[in-house]
Amino acid sequence: MMMSYGYVYVASVAMGANKQQLMKALLEAESYDGPSMILAYSPCINQGILAGMGKSQEEEKLAVQSGYWPLYRYNPALKAQGENPFVLDSKKPDGSLRKFLEGEIRYASLKRTFPQEAEKLHAELEAQFNERYEELALMADPTLVCKEPEAEEPAPAK
């Protein structure tokens, strides 16, 4: 929502997933001549990380890899330079969302209590996160709308 104003620096970060992206976001936010907001994925004890709080950095990495927490930066100063202000720093979700969800008590308890409902909700959530990634990818590179799908190479003749 803050990006829609057009003059607010916004970044989504997770130190355990990408320390360089975190530092870049902090430096950009500090140097931006206007309001800045950094959203940081920071697991807490109430999330019930099954691996333990000592593994919170790994949990952040899994959250990003799975698509649960996207990494991006929106820097309005780039518009003045003729560049796209939105930079997507995440890769496409790798399919590990269920592993991420099962690693936290707040989500794993649903699977234990209502396994069929959990399966349905997890599938919906995965579809939503994949769709969100595609939307963010379009924001980062609007030319993706116009790109032709890559043609498959013909199979070699036998």
Flag whether 151 is in a domain.
no
Q: Looking at the domain assignment, is residue 116 inside a domain?
A: yes
In this predicted model, what pLDDT tens digit does every residue of 59-108 receive, in sequence order? 999 999 999 999 999 999 999 899 999 999 999 999 999 999 999 888 88
Inside any domain, residue 152 = no
Q: Report the C-alpha gap between 62 and 119 in whole angstroms.
A: 19
Identify the CATH number of the domain in which residue 97 sits: 3.40.50.970
Is residue 158 situated within a structural domain? no
Q: Is residue 149 over pLDDT 80?
A: no
Q: How many domains does the chain have?
A: 1
**Per-residue pLDDT tens for 49-60?**
878 788 889 999
Cβ atoms < 10 Å from Cβ of 36: 19
For residue 149, is it within any domain?
Answer: no
The encoded tokens of residue 57 equal 């950095």
Is the predicted pLDDT of residue 43 greater than 80, yes or no? yes
Write out the residue range of the structural domain in which residue 70 sits.
2-144
Instruction: Evaluate whether residue 153 is within a structural domain.
Output: no
Which conformational region is residue 110 in: left (phi greater than 0), alpha (psi within -120 to 50 degrees), or beta?
Answer: alpha
**Structural domain contains residue 154:** no
Amino acid at 106: R
Region 116-120: mean pLDDT is 94
- pTM of the predicted model as reported, rounded to 2 decimal places: 0.86
How many CB atoms within 10 Å of residue 2?
Answer: 14
Q: Report d(CA 105, CA 47) in Å as an integer.
A: 7
3-class SS letters over the chain: CHHHHCCCEEEEECCCCCHHHHHHHHHHHHHCCCCEEEEECCCCHHHCECCCHHHHHHHHHHHHHCCCCCCEEECCHHHHCCCCCEEECCCCCCCCHHHHHHCEHHHHHHHHHCHHHHHHHHHHHHHHHHHHHHHHHHHHCHHHHCCCCCCCCCCCCC
In a domain, 36, yes or no: yes
Query: Pairing state of beta strands 9-13 and 36-40?
Result: parallel
